[in-house]
Amino acid sequence: MKKWKGSIGFLNAQSVYTKLAILIFILNKLLYPWVVENVEITQGRIPSHGPEPLSLAVDSRGNPHIVYNLYASSPSSRIFLKYAYKDSLGWNIEVIDSGIYESSPGFAVITVDKNDCIHIAYHKGWFLYYLYKDSTGWHKEEKIDSVINPSGGSGDVSLETDNFGNPHIIFTGTEPDGWSYRYYAYKRDGIWYFDRIDNTPSAGLEIGFVSLRLNRAGLPRFSHHTAGSGRLVYSYMHKSGEWFHQVFDSFPRVYGWEPTALALDSKDRPHIVYGYVGNIFWLLAYVYFDGVSWHIDTSLPPDGEKWIGSTRAIAIDSLDRPHIIYQGSSLKGIDYVYFTGTEWKHICVDAYEVDTSYGIPGSLVIDKNGISHFVGVAYAGEYDILRYIYGDPTEIEEKIHILPFNFSFFVYPTLFSDKIFLIVPSHFKNSVLDIDLYDVSGKIIFSSKEFTGKKILLGGSKISPGVYFLTVRKNKEIKKFCINKKL
């Protein structure tokens, strides 16, 4: 115990929370190169359709920001739009909108501009809303598509901001005549401008799952699916304002409503990931444009991955190499592949415990330091677990898996007032666990041996406010949590 106490003695100095965060990061890196954090544990449901059902952005300080929908456990028809962000004290969660209902769910996307202002676009009642947060707080809600689309009927949506902090949105809208079209909207000097991208309504009806990015000049590019014709399309605006469309894959390999995800490299060349039909299995494909022609690579994922989920994301690193996350063939984790310049490397990032059904990946962001950030959902019985994951994939050996013990337990709430719950996976039933709670000086606050059930209640009402470490041991294996008692 003295050794541990001495190793964190520097926390008595100023900026305790900052140094504590650094310590936790170092400890996690020693135990496992990926850092996995539980953002929210709920008995509601977090839906998972679209190319990036969980939308993530990272600000200039490396802090993550997440937007997602949560189906309430009661009443079952209510959907909450939630925004989670992390600061030096930990995770914070806000309800952005509580008036969304199951009859009209939609997509929600988030981005952070160069001034670290937060921008969100989402659907409510089949209308498209936009809001942003600056140093003065939230500014909401603009029903932006009601100007040209008073009947509602919005479909999917993708959002980006330019160098001046102006929002740009691609979305699908339905006109009063019942026809659907693809629209591009952007805001400048407080005024929204709209452009109907395709004037052919039959094409509008076939639009699916757009993924928008802006090039260095601030011009929009996006990938999407036209399901009726079985085509995957890359669309871009010329500096003249004219739209151009390129088909990069089509039927019979492309079938059904297939989400795509788009990223641009340093030369504004598109890189896209999507699923395709190979024999009787769904497989993962990556396509890029070299300035002359399209090149499709189907050599990923590795042998044995014969099925992927319908969600995936892509990001480009500083060397213009693609990094991709997707739901793997086992449907029990998030898989990560990246190109080294000569070959694809594969990592199983978040392998869940035996009583977890599967993992759903969300957005992927690579920051200026080369750290990958992404989010995922684990469906663990009656609980949905929103997880934030970050790390440097180049430091990780190929096909490393998380040990089941190390990442199957979880604690909630991590910011508590009087009660702490330890959720135990079913395969640890009838086991004895050693549980210890320490303060930041290494002093033991309490110790206990618990005969495991599904949920263990730990009392915290007599604990003083502050930061604590909770450890769970089974034989020589150990899991550590950092928790905070409210003031």
Could you tell me how far CA 458 lies from the centroid of its own chain? 31
Task: Quote the tokens at residue 234.
Answer: 């890359």
Comparing 146-160, 161-175, 304-318, 392-406, which segment has the lowest mean pLDDT? 392-406
- Per-residue pLDDT of 230-263, as tens digits, reads 788 899 999 999 999 999 988 777 766 667 899 9
Among 64-78, 174-188, 412-426, the range scoring the smallest mean pLDDT is 412-426
Report if residue 292 sits inside a domain. Answer: yes
Shared-domain flag, residues 347 and 480: no
* Residues belonging to the chain: 487
389 shares a domain with 441? no
Shared domain for 424 and 389, answered yes or no, is no
pTM attached to this predicted model: 0.76
Any domain includes 257: yes
51 lies in some domain:
yes
Q: How many CB atoms lie within 10 A of CB 468?
A: 19
Q: Are residues 68 and 198 in the same domain?
A: yes
Q: Which of 395, 430, 451 is the last residue of a domain?
A: 395
Residue 472 CA, chain-centre distance (Å), reads 28
CATH number at residue 430: 2.60.40.1930
Q: Does one domain contain both 433 and 345? A: no
- Confidence at 300, pLDDT banded by 50, 70, 90: confident
The least confident of 28-37, 127-136, 155-164 is: 28-37
Confirm whether 134 is domain-assigned: yes
17 within a domain of the structure (yes/no): no
List the domain range (segments joined by +) for residue 448. Answer: 409-485
Same domain, 41 and 156: yes
Same domain, 116 and 62: yes
Task: Say if CB 172 and CB 190 are below 8 A apart.
Answer: no
pLDDT tens-digit readout, 360-390: 677 899 998 899 999 888 776 667 788 888 8
Using CA atoms, how far apart are residues 41 and 383, in angstroms rounded to an integer? 7
DSSP conformation class of 464:
P
> 184 with 236, same domain?
yes
Buried b (16+ CB within 10 A) or exposed e, 429-438: eeeebebbbb
Per the structure block, which two tokens stand in for 125? Answer: 């009642």
Q: Specify if 11 maps to a domain.
A: no
Q: Look up the CATH number of the domain holding residue 308.
A: 2.120.10.70
403 lies in some domain: no
- Domain check: are 429 and 296 in the same one? no
Average the pLDDT over each of 54-58, 187-191, 395-399 and give the range with the smallest value.
395-399
How much is the mean pLDDT over the chain?
76
Confidence check: pLDDT of 432 > 70: yes
Last residue of one domain, picked from the residues 357, 373, 395: 395
Looking at residue 238, its pLDDT comes to 94
Are 284 and 313 in contact by the 8 Å Cβ rule? The answer is no
Note whether residue 19 is domain-resident. no
Residue 225 has a pLDDT of: 80
For the chain, the domain total comes to 2
Are 341 and 323 in contact, with CB atoms under 8 Å apart? no
For 69, the token pair is: 């929908």
Are residue 414 and residue 389 in the same domain, yes or no? no
pLDDT value of position 156: 76
Domain's final residue, options 343, 362, 395: 395
Segment 104-117, tens digit of pLDDT: 556 789 999 999 99
pLDDT in tens, 187-232: 999 889 988 887 655 444 455 678 899 999 999 999 988 755 678 8
Q: 446 and 303 in one domain?
A: no
Same domain membership, residue 439 and residue 347? no
What are the E-state strand segments in 30-107?
Answer: 35-42, 55-58, 64-71, 78-87, 90-101
Q: How far apart are CA 184 and CA 169, in angstroms?
A: 6
